[in-house]
Amino acid sequence: MSLILYGAPLSPFVRKVDVFLREKGVEFETESVNIMPMPDWFKEISPARRIPVLRDVSVGKEGTAGTLPDSSAICAFAERKHPDPALYPEDAFELGRATWYEEWADSELAGRVGMGIFRPIMFPRFAGKESDVETAAKTWRESLPSLFDYIEGELAGKEFLAGGALSIADIAVACQMTNLELVAGLPDATRWPNLVRHTERLRDRPSFAPNLAICRKVIGESIDLEAAAGG
């Protein structure tokens, strides 16, 4: 097997690559990396100090040779190397839209879900303490609705975000939304029906199952932030 995916399954960016490769039908190995603290060998191949990193051992087996840091770079590589099925739209404009949604998910959505929800709930739990539900509920109430509103509108009348088919856009957004669901549930389906349907449809694809099964075992019970935040 020529591909090794380094990272931690709880990372939505590791999940993005994992799902992307499975949708492609590409075989790969996974190797868990404890990033707190990050080992020196991993710092060498991840200059931004982030996960995931992919190694193509057909290119290089040691050091930085054959390695690609960053989930977006890895998915672009995998699309070129394994073009079928296509997960980036062929049309130029739709390709631009798909890569925009990916960037939006990886920055805007990831920032607020990761720092404002996942960390205050899970980091204390990892340390044997009570989750900071107050901080997470504040983020849910004040920071997330505008993001939910945006993607709800973008999904209006559509099953997929770009190009009329499953693409990197859908995978990137769903990987962040499933991280939210794992720790805090999904938002109100009566207010954001398109977003919730999209998340559930992607979550239930076979490509998501291996990663989410591991994550559910690690995370345990989620906290209903919709209720904690006051609806």
pLDDT tens-place string over residues 10-35: 999 999 999 999 999 999 999 999 87
Length of the chain: 231
How much is the pTM? Answer: 0.95
Contact 27, 20 (CB under 8 A): no
**AA letter at 142:** E
Q: Which helix (H) or strand (E) holds 83?
A: none
Domains, the chain: 3-81 (3.40.30.10), 92-228 (1.20.1050.10)
Average pLDDT (95-122) is 97
Residue in the block written with tokens 């690609």:
68
Helix (H, G, I), strand (E, B) or coil at 4: strand
The percent of residues above 90 in pLDDT, for the chain, comes to 89
More confident residue, 227 or 180: 180
Angle between helices 209-219 and 12-24 (to 10 degrees): 150
The pLDDT tens digits for 147-178 are 999 999 999 999 999 999 999 999 999 999 99
Average pLDDT (68-90) is 97
Which band of pLDDT confidence, cut at 50, 70 and 90, is reported for residue 37? confident
Asked if residue 231 has pLDDT above 60, the reply is: no
Q: Which pLDDT does position 222 carry in this prediction?
A: 86
Average pLDDT (181-203) is 97
Q: Which pLDDT does position 1 carry in this prediction?
A: 65
Which band of pLDDT confidence, cut at 50, 70 and 90, is reported for residue 38? confident
Backbone CA torsion sign across 163, 171, 185, 211: positive
The pLDDT tens digits for 54-63 are 999 999 998 8
